[in-house]
């Protein structure tokens, strides 16, 4: 399992999958995880810690699996030739190729994702689609498989991706043991939405959205038509839409849906019935909640509730 590292790489994109494979070895797997850099030198991760590469890409030989993590700011400038050359070399004969977060940009840069489905961090999905029009971008999935290539959304989804790899290689029992050992939730399918409702904490104190977001969180079942939300925020409907786009990265309606999904999840975890969770979270009927859950979470509310119980 070769993980490419380079300066400013996101640490969790590296450490998350590496820890999954290490834990899997405790339950009978036989993974050997190598850190590989373009020239074999150590690199400094985005959090300031040093990662020691074990060898340069040119000397890595044929790897079973290659994982290309992402980095903050990596897509704001052209990639260094040495980095893209390293990706080309490592992936040339690999049986399986995976990326975490904006690592998908590196795979796309060398043409590996042409005419394939792929994902990346949702905040970079539009840029990804514009930069690589041949890629069929899925902006919501936690991870996407297309043939022997798996791309994931970033941050904790790298752990989801690694658990899926363990399940492929060693079966669901080992994957479940690893998830329990790491105290993470195993049953997050790749189709589950990577979105969660953004926090208000990053907004300035005078931002009109702060009051609105607090109101929605306190009463997710309330009336949140665009006109009603504009009144609460004391801005025009046009301004409200612009504020959500610029400050939150989504639409007002989508934000309300995210809050309601999270509210329903919390209620289901606490033991509420599907009908009760639907009514109290603002979805109204069990069928509406089921439809949204299948589309956004990747399973029905009842299956989700059972997964939560079995993972506890």
In sequence order, what are the beta bridge partners of 66?
A: 2, 97
**pLDDT tens-digit profile of 250-271?**
899 989 998 999 889 889 988 8
How confident is the model at residue 184, as a pLDDT? 72
| Position 200 pLDDT exceeds 90 | no
- Phi/psi at 72 (nearest 5 deg)? -65, 130
Taking the C-alpha atoms of residue 114 and residue 22, their distance in angstroms, rounded to an integer, is: 32
What is the pLDDT confidence band of residue 121, given thresholds at 50, 70 and 90? confident
Q: Are 61 and 34 in contact (CB under 8 A)?
A: no
Query: When comparing pLDDT for 97 and 248, which is higher?
Result: 97
Q: Is 34 helix (H, G, I), strand (E, B) or coil?
A: strand
pTM tops 0.75, yes or no: no
Taking the C-alpha atoms of residue 248 and residue 243, their distance in angstroms, rounded to an integer, is: 7
Q: Are 212 and 219 in contact (CB under 8 A)?
A: no
How confident is the model at residue 185, as a pLDDT? 56
Q: What average pLDDT does the segment 87-114 reach?
A: 96
How confident is the model at residue 249, as a pLDDT? 78
| Position 243 pLDDT exceeds 50 | yes
Taking the C-alpha atoms of residue 26 and residue 143, their distance in angstroms, rounded to an integer, is: 25
Of 172, 133, 178, give the one whose Cα is nearest residue 159. 178
Query: When comparing pLDDT for 15 and 140, which is higher?
Result: 15
**pLDDT tens-digit profile of 17-41?**
999 999 999 999 999 999 999 999 9
Q: Is 249 helix (H, G, I), strand (E, B) or coil?
A: coil
Upper half-sphere CA count for residue 72 (Cβ side, 13 Å): 10
Assign residue 171 a region (left: φ > 0; alpha: ψ between -120 and 50; beta: otherwise). Answer: left
Taking the C-alpha atoms of residue 104 and residue 106, their distance in angstroms, rounded to an integer, is: 5
Query: When comparing pLDDT for 23 and 199, which is higher?
Result: 23
Taking the C-alpha atoms of residue 218 and residue 155, their distance in angstroms, rounded to an integer, is: 28
| Position 207 pLDDT exceeds 80 | yes
| Position 193 pLDDT exceeds 90 | no
| Position 306 pLDDT exceeds 90 | no
Structure tokens at 177: 């043991």
């Amino acid at each position: 399992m070769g993980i490419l590292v380079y300066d400013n790489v996101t640490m969790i994109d590296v450490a998350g999958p590496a820890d999954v494979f290490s834990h899997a070895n405790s339950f009978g797997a036989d993974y050997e995880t190598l850190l590989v850099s373009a020239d074999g030198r150590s690199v400094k991760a985005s959090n300031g810690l040093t990662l020691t590469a074990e060898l340069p890409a040119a000397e890595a030989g044929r790897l079973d699996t290659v994982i290309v993590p992402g980095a903050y700011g990596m897509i704001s400038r052209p990639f260094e030739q040495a980095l893209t050359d390293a990706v080309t070399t490592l992936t040339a004969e690999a049986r399986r190729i995976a990326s975490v977060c904006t690592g998908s940009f590196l795979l796309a840069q060398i043409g590996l994702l042409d005419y394939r489905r792929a994902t990346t961090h949702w905040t970079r999905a539009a840029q990804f689609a514009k930069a690589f029009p041949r890629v069929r971008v899925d902006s919501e999935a936690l991870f996407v498989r297309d043939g022997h290539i798996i791309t994931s959304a970033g941050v904790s989804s790298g752990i989801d991706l690694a658990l899926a790899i363990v399940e492929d290689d060693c079966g669901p029992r080992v994957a479940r043991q690893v998830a329990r050992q790491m105290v993470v939730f195993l049953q997050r399918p790749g189709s589950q939405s990577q979105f969660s409702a953004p926090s208000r904490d990053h907004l300035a104190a005078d931002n009109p959205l702060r009051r609105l977001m607090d109101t929605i969180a306190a009463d997710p079942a309330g009336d949140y038509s665009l006109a009603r939300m504009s009144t609460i925020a004391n801005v025009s409907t046009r301004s409200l839409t612009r504020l959500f786009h610029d400050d939150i990265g989504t639409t007002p309606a989508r934000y309300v849906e995210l809050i309601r999904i999270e509210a329903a999840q919390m209620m289901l975890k606490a033991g509420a019935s599907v009908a009760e969770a639907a009514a109290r979270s603002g979805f109204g009927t069990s069928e509406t909640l089921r439809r949204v859950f299948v589309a956004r979470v990747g399973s029905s509310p009842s299956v989700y509730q059972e997964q939560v119980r079995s993972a506890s």
